[in-house]
Amino acid sequence: MPTKRRETLADTFAMITFFMVAGMAIEIGLSGLSFEQSLQSRLLSIPVNAAIARPYGVFRDWLLRVGRVEEGGFFRRLFLDIVAFVLFQIPVYILLVASTGASVSQIVTACIGQIGGLVFLARPYGVYMQYCRKIAMRCFGGTLAPVTIQERSA
């Protein structure tokens, strides 16, 4: 299996599973949704997550390369993961919220709240995505792209 296909599979698996768990925790624990409501929400999010998983992985890899993550320590890696996550996810979130007919002020308010969550989830997701890539490479053979070989867990 070609490396790009393995990375696509790993990135897609990582995004769907991470946000299934994180989304349910937020929706049930903080937002007060029932388990059934949260499960329905998470199932509806699968196509969106599947569509954006690999583009996000490519964008993150590029940003880590440009940011010379291998020359920095924990804080550079943390900062670049946060920047990548916010820069990529907020435009997607804006489109999703705007598609519901929300006003500009509602979209801005929702985005401010979303940014807070993204800051806390960025690094754990980056570590988890990298772990999924390593497992995929181990299971299907191959090597990771140079930028991802340097990845260390938080």
pTM here?
0.79
Task: Say which residues have a Cβ less than 8 Å from residue 88's Cβ, sequence separation at least 6.
Answer: 52, 55, 56, 59, 60
Return the closest-CA partner of residue 3 out of 144, 131, 147.
Answer: 144
Domain boundary assignment for the chain: 3-149
Read off the pLDDT band of 127 (50, 70, 90).
Answer: very high
Query: Which residue in this structure is represented by tokens 């590029």?
Result: 62
Q: Which residue has the higher pLDDT, 151 or 81?
A: 81
- Residue 47 scores a pLDDT above 70: yes
